[in-house]
Amino acid sequence: MSHLDEAAFARTVAACTRCGGSELEVSTYVDRKLAVMLADPSDDGAWAYDGEAFIDGVYRIRCTACGVDAYASDDCPRCHRAGGLADGLGHVTRLEVPRRCPSCDELELTLIAFAPGTVTVRGPGRPAPPTARAELGEPGFHVVAIACDACDWAVVSERCPICDAAPPLRARA
């Protein structure tokens, strides 16, 4: 199960327990969709998660007024391996993107990835979309799956895409 469920998340972002501030910066690892052409991005990418996945991926909630961590976990946000977060934020993707589809030679492929993002939350309600903190090729951005739009070729990471832990992975919320 997730470290943080919906009720715990709502409680934590309601107000800082140290200073009472109600503006908290949330860091989360969430799904991002990106099109590539010859292994380079051909669009800006878009978040592809629902509200439960947003909460499931949270690894830090920090008060913007006093700087205290209202919530922080060093565990991998995807598989919960202890200390796994650093192996995600500090490494580039382990699933390499081919320049062409290995099956049909198509130049354009679609990626599903995990990217870290941050967003400032003020009070209850659905958080706004986060700002991505890593792009394709940068440490922290991890490709989960690659699919060809022209044929049925696809590949999915079997290990944990974020921290490289061996399967099986826990079911996501």
166 binds Zn ion (CB under 5 A): no
**C-alpha–C-alpha distance, residues 30 and 130, integer Å:** 9
User: Judged by CB under 5 A, how many residues of this single chain contact Zn ion?
Assistant: 24
Tokens read off for 119? 């967003």
Going by C-beta distance under 8 Å and a sequence separation of 6 or more, which residues neighbour residue 81? 75, 160, 163, 165
Cα angle 77, 171, 112; round to 5 = 65
- CB of residue 79 to Zn ion, shortest distance in Å: 3
86 binds Zn ion (CB under 5 A): no
In the bound state with Zn ion, the residue whose beta carbon lies nearer, of 103 and 131, is 103
Provide the 10 A C-beta neighbour count for residue 96: 11
Applying CB under 5 A, the span of 42-50, 80-88, 116-124, 133-141 interacting with Zn ion comes to 80-88
101 binds Zn ion (CB under 5 A): yes
79 binds Zn ion (CB under 5 A): yes
163 binds Zn ion (CB under 5 A): yes
Tokens read off for 120? 């400032």
**C-alpha–C-alpha distance, residues 35 and 55, integer Å:** 25
Applying the rule CB under 5 A, the residues between 119 and 158 that interact with Zn ion are 148, 150-151, 153
76, 85, 111, 121: residue in contact with Zn ion (rule CB under 5 A): 76
Applying the rule CB under 5 A, the residues between 8 and 27 that interact with Zn ion are 16, 18-19, 21
Applying CB under 5 A, the span of 3-11, 46-54, 110-118, 165-173 interacting with Zn ion comes to 165-173
- CB of residue 100 to Zn ion, shortest distance in Å: 8
Alpha helix segments (H runs only) across the chain: 6-14, 51-56, 85-89
